[in-house]
């Protein structure tokens, strides 16, 4: 039987072994033992991480799918607020300018941390706007009630939304005319499209996390 990409009874590959301790961790030979095994998500003081559930490449594909299908900046972020994959693509030209500046990127990080905490405590998808005005959604990733991080997207205006061009100009230290040029690259999404993006990511998370563990 295959579970999380490994055969039951098989030893963890060396690449995974390293993140779980100094010696091989034997995978239990039956599912009931495996459920008990996963309930203790730490080993030798190391907590389970997103990359223990799926590889960086798998998370990268999910981020790319969010971008390709819906136009959002796709991102999978661990519980510490660190993106676990390379950028999949930018929804507009404002977001990379904000993220590329030490002073302004706090707008993104504060929104992510706040929404991730809400997603962790409610165990539900969270949809809000960042301080700039972009719509952002995050969906919590749990394994046996252990919060590992979030998957989601940002960088698009939902119909009826509005960007704060004055705030953006102050944030990036550029003239409002330059901001208006950057705003021409911003896409608009319908509520239905946003809901479809949330549903797709929720389904992908279900596929990637061990559903047999309550």
pLDDT of residue 46: 53
**What is the percent of the chain where pLDDT is above 70?**
76
Is pLDDT at 11 greater than 60 in this prediction? no
Alpha helices in 55-157 (DSSP H): 56-70, 94-99, 106-122
What mean pLDDT do residues 57-79 have? 97
- How many whole angstroms separate alpha carbon 16 and alpha carbon 54? 11
Handedness of CA 170, 88, 135, 79 (dihedral sign): negative
pLDDT of residue 211: 53
- How many whole angstroms separate alpha carbon 61 and alpha carbon 65? 6
pLDDT digits (tens, 9 = 90+) for 98-118: 999 888 999 999 999 999 999
Output the CA angle 35-38-41, nearest 5 degrees.
Answer: 160
Using DSSP, state whether 22 is helix, strand or coil: coil
pLDDT of residue 33: 43
Is pLDDT at 48 greater than 70 in this prediction? yes
pLDDT of residue 26: 39
What mean pLDDT do residues 8-21 have? 33
Block residue for tokens 């901001």:
179
CA distances from 108 to 42, 143, 179, 209 (A): 30, 26, 18, 26
pLDDT digits (tens, 9 = 90+) for 129-188: 999 999 999 999 999 889 999 999 999 999 889 999 999 999 999 999 999 999 999 999
pLDDT of residue 122: 97
Average pLDDT, the chain: 81
pLDDT of residue 45: 45
Of residues 42 and 8, more confidence is placed in: 42
pTM of the model: 0.76
């Amino acid at each position: 039987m295959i579970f999380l990409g490994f055969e039951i009874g098989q030893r963890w590959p060396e690449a995974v072994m390293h993140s779980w301790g100094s010696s091989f961790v034997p995978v239990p030979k039956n599912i009931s033992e495996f459920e008990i095994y996963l309930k203790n998500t730490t080993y030798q003081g190391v907590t389970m991480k997103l990359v223990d559930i799926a590889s960086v490449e798998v998370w990268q594909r999910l981020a790319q799918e969010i971008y390709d299908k819906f136009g959002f900046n796709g991102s999978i972020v661990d519980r510490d607020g660190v993106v676990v994959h390379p950028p999949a693509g930018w929804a507009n030209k404002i977001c990379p300018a904000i993220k590329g500046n030490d002073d302004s990127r706090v707008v993104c990080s504060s929104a992510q941390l706040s929404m991730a905490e809400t997603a962790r405590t409610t165990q539900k998808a969270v949809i809000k706007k960042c301080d700039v005005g972009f719509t952002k959604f995050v969906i919590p990733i749990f394994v046996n009630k252990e919060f590992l991080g979030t998957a989601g997207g940002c960088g698009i205006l939902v119909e009826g939304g509005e960007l704060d061009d004055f705030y953006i100009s102050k944030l990036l230290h550029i003239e409002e005319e330059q901001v208006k040029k950057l705003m021409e690259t911003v896409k608009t999404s319908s509520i239905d499209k946003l809901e479809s993006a949330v549903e797709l990511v929720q389904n992908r998370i279900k596929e990637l996390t061990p559903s047999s563990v309550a």
